Amino acid sequence: MQNDMEQIIDWGVIGSGGIARRRTIPEGLMRADNTRLISIYDIDDDVNNVVANEFGAIACNSIENLLESDIDAVYIASPAFAHFDHVVKCAKAKKNILCEKPLGMTTKETEQMMQICKEFGVLLRVGFMMPFQSQHQAALKLIQEGKLGKMVYGRAQLSCWYPPIKGAWRQDPALAGGGSLMDMGGHCIDLLEMYFGKVKEVSCFINNNLHDYSSEDSAVATLFFESGAIATVDTFFCIPDNSSKNMLELYGSKGSIIAKNTIGQGESGEMVAFIKDDYSGYDAGQSREANNGFVIKPEPINTYLSEIHEFNTLIRENKSQLDENRGLRNQLVLTACYEAAKTKKVISVNYT
């Protein structure tokens, strides 16, 4: 008799190029225990055929063809504007869904997607993989243990060089929902909420500092959390890759954690904790000791592999549930940020 944890989960992929080909297929689907990649679909037939040959999958000529194959789950990595249609089709075919962020182009779309998945009894999760990163988890453990005291401030940075490219959907807000903030800020917001809890209010500035495409190439958002903590998210499409170190900074009343390049697609970066318990009172000189802190470097964990492992486990345990509104909550915060940028006001995040 087959053990539940030995049940093989068969997958299909919609949008086989891009992040699916670079990361999720080779690092997640091809490496996860008791997991098979069966079928893939991409609007670009040539790309789809190449990826199919590379990973031994069936190259489907339509989404309907893919959904007719014998699969348990679908990983959706198509452009943001196609997510709604693709999620609905997969749900109606009763396939469990792991969808890249953002779930929908708007909060209304996201709510509809969640409701349809609930009606058809399928699992829906959004592709936020960064909380799986082992250093991020180690930082969370220190915070939960109270080692940093009361959390007061955080910063998450995710930027890259993204020059004008003909036909690039991320550079058109009608197709992407936004620019650098929508594309990269969602990851930062999700990660910060793991440390600080729910966002309550936001303010935000967006701009096109360099590139002349329709989406913003620059964004800075300030988040005020229900816990009272404050954080900033900075995302830019106009900073050279090697110039942005994708910083994660977490500050509490007893110390801080400073990290470089832990935010992103890699497995490991640099993370150092600076913690001091013996505060004797106010120091008028505000001296800074030559303290190098202690390095946080647990065994690296592949975030894409962890993401697939978790999703497979939920399927095997027959947990046909949504992701506790995580994708919707993220969309609500992003929507509030864009409203704040437009109105130049502080905007409350109204959770449904």
DSSP 260: E
Domain boundary among 78, 99, 127: 127
Is 315 within a domain?
no
Is 97 within a domain?
yes
Q: Are residues 230 and 204 in the same domain?
A: yes
pLDDT of 270-297, one tens digit each?
999 999 866 555 554 455 565 679 999 9
Is 326 within a domain?
no
pTM: 0.93
pLDDT of 122-150, one tens digit each?
999 999 999 999 999 999 999 999 999 99
**The pLDDT value given to residue 163:** 97
Q: Are residues 139 and 288 in the same domain?
A: yes
User: Average pLDDT in the 13-39 region?
Assistant: 97
**How many domains, the chain?**
2
Crossing angle between the packed helical segments 107-119 and 326-343, to the nearest 10 degrees:
170
Is 321 within a domain?
no
In order, the DSSP letters of 131-157 are GGSHHHHHHHHHHHTTTT-SEEEEEEE
How much is the mean pLDDT over the chain?
93
Q: Are residues 110 and 52 in the same domain?
A: yes
Q: Secondary structure of the chain: what % helix, strand, coil (to 5)?
A: 35, 25, 40
What is the CB-side half-sphere exposure of residue 160 using CA atoms within 13 A? 14
What CATH number is attached to the domain comprising 264?
3.30.360.10
Helical residues (DSSP H) of the chain, grouped into ranges: 19, 45-55, 63-68, 83-92, 107-119, 134-144, 173-176, 180, 186-196, 303-316, 326-343
Q: What is the token pair recorded at 329?
A: 């909550």
Of the chain, the percentage scoring pLDDT greater than 90 comes to 89
